Amino acid sequence: MLSTSGEHVPGAGGPVRVAVLGTGVIGQDLVSRIGRSPWLRCGLVAGRDPDSPGLRRAAERGCPTSADGIRAVLASEEPFAVVFDATSALSHAEHARLLAPLGTLLVDLTPSRLGRTVVPAVTGVTPPDSGSVSLISCGGQAAIPVVHALARRFDVRYVEVVSTVASVVAGRATRLNLDEYVATTAEAVTAFSGVSDAKAILNISPAVPPAVFRTAVHAVAPGADPDEVRAVAGETAERVRAFAPGYRVVACTASDGRVVVCVEVTAAGDVLPAYAGNLDIIDAAAVLVAERHAARVAAGAEVVSA
């Protein structure tokens, strides 16, 4: 259905009920985005610390909250169409196992390597009906559209992805999952480029003021033309900006078969500071996937009610 402004809005089924697991900055930003979405309704925010600022802020926004974590999701009398997992890779594996019988779509913002991989600018955002959707990592979301586009146009033989995030937005789960982040991102780079020789690096910057999120893609691509590389990078950035407006190319060079494309992502909204583009791009992708699922659920409800 379309609203009077031309915006797609839910049909007979109304907004779908969703839950957020995790009350860190990612979870808080997801709650804010859900509140602005005509497709989604926040049915629960669950963490493990009853004194968490994230739980308090979610309650202030009118969301039901619980400190019982995944147990609160499983105990809910009304099912959730989507559960966002903003915890850790290890926890996600258990969450996926427990939620599998319920037919819930689990949108994974951890580097667990479970479920169908989604990079909106490359794969589109249509999720499976249920199960887990992997968003890889923030660095993966920023780099893979570029890597994929370069590999389609040039003979790429090596890829290295180097992301830099501000220390103040690298939470406990991020630090605990550094090994998983590196492995998951490198594996996804290979999957989307076909280049087996791939490396991923994450730098956590203590700079003051905090460094804006930046990802540099280094590639060995013999014969790559500088003008073509710039065109590829520009086209890719336009596709990503469709859902992450703060994404832009800040450097692009090609010389002697060595290509460097550097992108920067700034965040917008009422939760994330501008330098937290790493969280902005993965949260934007997560909500996009959930909204597409909600549209499918709403369409099904219209058919049933017709």
Catalytic site residues? 138
* SS3 (DSSP) at 282: helix
The 10 Å Cβ neighbour count of residue 250 is 11
Q: How far is CA 216 from the centre of its chain?
A: 18
Angle at 32 between CA 27 and CA 37, to 5 degrees: 120
DSSP structural state of residue 5: T
Cβ-count burial of 209 within 10 angstroms (0-12 exposed, 13-18 middle, 19+ buried)? exposed
Q: Which residues pair with 262 in a beta bridge?
A: 216, 251
Find the Cα–Cα–Cα–Cα dihedral 128, 198, 174, 28, rounded to 10°. -40
Count how many residues are written for the chain: 306
Q: How far is CA 223 from the centre of its chain?
A: 33
Which of 264, 282, 266 minimizes the C-alpha distance to 25? Answer: 282
In angstroms, the Cα distances linking 218 to 10, 139, 168, 260, 292 are 42, 13, 26, 5, 33
Which residues in 196-205 are b (16+ Cβ under 10 Å) and which e? eebebbbebb
Q: Which residue has the tokens 């590639």?
A: 219
Instruction: Name the CA radius of gyration of the chain, rounded.
Output: 19
Residue 142 in tokens:
């920023």
